[in-house]
Structure 1
């Protein structure tokens, strides 16, 4: 079964939040017109990355998992007949906590979970480039991984920094994932060969296809600049690059055909996950 999957490589967001939402919606419609069945959007898809500033001024940007943004993208998924994965800034009314999270909607517009399909688990702290960033000041870390079903695939999500940790990939494979969606924002401090190569390695060693969506271009918040580097990518379960949209191509849709039927065959041939020493490693 060949399935068209798409990553929307969005331009850097501005302080005009309504305009950002419109850009993201237009990208989903564009991907659907090109035949995509699954569309992934970048981390903080409709907001500039604000973690280089103090958290207070941005709390008002957060929304509940069933808020206006969720309703808009639920309707958009149904309108376009695509499964949509929307990163957003979540305010959890039950706990009062804020999360860097992702919502998923099936092609019928129905939420794939009652709450987010992912909350960022690992929250980085850094000071390069100035003025630095501290995600722990802005977000509470998630405490679980989830796998959801859409378009015949079992899908997990690792938000940006979460991709760094091999245990997270292993855990998603153990939960039965076929495809891992990786929403990203920023530059991450890597050259592009490493950025893509790291995901290729995790894909191959776990037999997991990957769909990575990044922004491209600068964002300006609180006097700081966030350099989003692009390089959205689709990667097969054998680690092969199916499609890549480098920085110089700018914003646009990365589209790839994923052969879901090939995933079990890759796992039979490349047995790294099955052959690991389970008496020594979980």
Structure 2
């Protein structure tokens, strides 16, 4: 297990409707996190734009190599000498046979190089009790593989938003060595109010890993409202840092990485899996 401490910075944002405006919105927040000593900085899901209508979104959709936010944050990581997880950018999937976008996390090192990518596995198709309807599968092509990446601080597992509801993914990341798991999100207000903290704490307890959850928050230009309340949960399930609002800002937390080993030694459930027959 990794020892030592690392300071992380979670950016809570309110993504505008265009990548140009999104980069201008994010850059001062990333700089603020760096000024506060964060060595790993994480942004939320849909960092490059929040657009509910596909027609409007596709006007700004680009390949990853040309996305304004992905490239701008890469340059910023190199300038500041920090590692950065771009929680996700919505970009062209690169699949000629499928015109849907990819909802993609990018892990960027302190030289501005993209060292890992993850496409959101579970897309958000739901009819909420308040009448809101979401069909992410209509516009986003789901990924097909889990990702754990090495950083100088610890092994980092990648997830995005709705993935939070699938504990088997988190377990697979932990069993592959993840000591920190990122959950960049743009949670709806009804589901955020009801489930956000409970699910984050449950995933931390189940995996014995730090959960890093930077979120979108507030009323967006496209009319969508997101929950905010960015949070860091330790491997014992304790919330060690949180924002209690939807406002754009920065959340700083110092992680004692030895806590991962202590939690997994105290409750070694990751090594206790057993095969079983499914219910009839």
Q: Same fold (TM over 0.5)?
A: yes
Matched, 1:9 2:12: yes
Segments of structure 2 that go 5 or more residues without pairing to the other structure are none
The two structures, once aligned, show a CA RMSD in angstroms of 1.9
* Structure 2 Cα separation of the partners of residues 199 and 68 of structure 1: 30
The 3-state SS of whatever aligns with 2:103 is: strand
* 1:44 match: 46
Matched, 1:85 2:81: no
The 3-state SS of whatever aligns with 2:149 is: strand
* 1:64 match: 63
The 3-state SS of whatever aligns with 1:23 is: helix
1:1-53: per-residue Cα shift (whole Å, max 9, x none)?
A: 1100111011x223353122111121111101000011111110121142xx3
Query: Which stretch of the first structure deviates more once superposed, 263-272 or 153-162?
Result: 263-272
The 3-state SS of whatever aligns with 1:257 is: strand
* 1:240 match: 238
| Maintained 8 Å contact 1:83/1:151 | no
* Structure 1 Cα separation of the partners of residues 142 and 21 of structure 2: 28
Could you say if the C-alpha distance between residues 256 and 14 of structure 1 is closer, same or farther in structure 2, counting changes exceeding 3 Å?
same
* Structure 1 Cα separation of the partners of residues 137 and 192 of structure 2: 25
Q: How does 1:86-125 map to 2 (within 5 A)?
A: 86=86, 87-95=88-96, 96-113=99-116, 117-125=117-125
* 2:262 match: 265
The 3-state SS of whatever aligns with 1:112 is: strand
* 1:165 match: 166
Q: How does 1:122-161 map to 2 (within 5 A)?
A: 122-128=122-128, 129-130=130-131, 132-161=133-162
| Maintained 8 Å contact 1:37/1:151 | no
Give how far 1:72 is off. Answer: 1.7
| Maintained 8 Å contact 1:85/1:103 | yes
Q: Displaced runs of 4+ in structure 1, greater than 6 A?
A: none
| Maintained 8 Å contact 1:9/1:216 | yes
Could you say if the C-alpha distance between residues 235 and 107 of structure 1 is closer, same or farther in structure 2, counting changes exceeding 3 Å?
same
* Structure 2 Cα separation of the partners of residues 92 and 187 of structure 1: 24
Could you say if the C-alpha distance between residues 280 and 49 of structure 1 is closer, same or farther in structure 2, counting changes exceeding 3 Å?
farther
* 1:205 match: 206
* Structure 2 Cα separation of the partners of residues 68 and 49 of structure 1: 15
The 3-state SS of whatever aligns with 1:66 is: helix
The 3-state SS of whatever aligns with 1:167 is: helix
1:187-209: per-residue Cα shift (whole Å, max 9, x none)?
A: 26335463112111111111111
The 3-state SS of whatever aligns with 1:156 is: strand
| Maintained 8 Å contact 1:6/1:211 | no
| Maintained 8 Å contact 1:186/1:226 | no
Could you say if the C-alpha distance between residues 97 and 229 of structure 1 is closer, same or farther in structure 2, counting changes exceeding 3 Å?
closer
Matched, 1:174 2:172: no
Give how far 1:173 is off. Answer: 1.0
Segments of structure 1 that go 5 or more residues without pairing to the other structure are none
| Maintained 8 Å contact 2:215/2:228 | yes
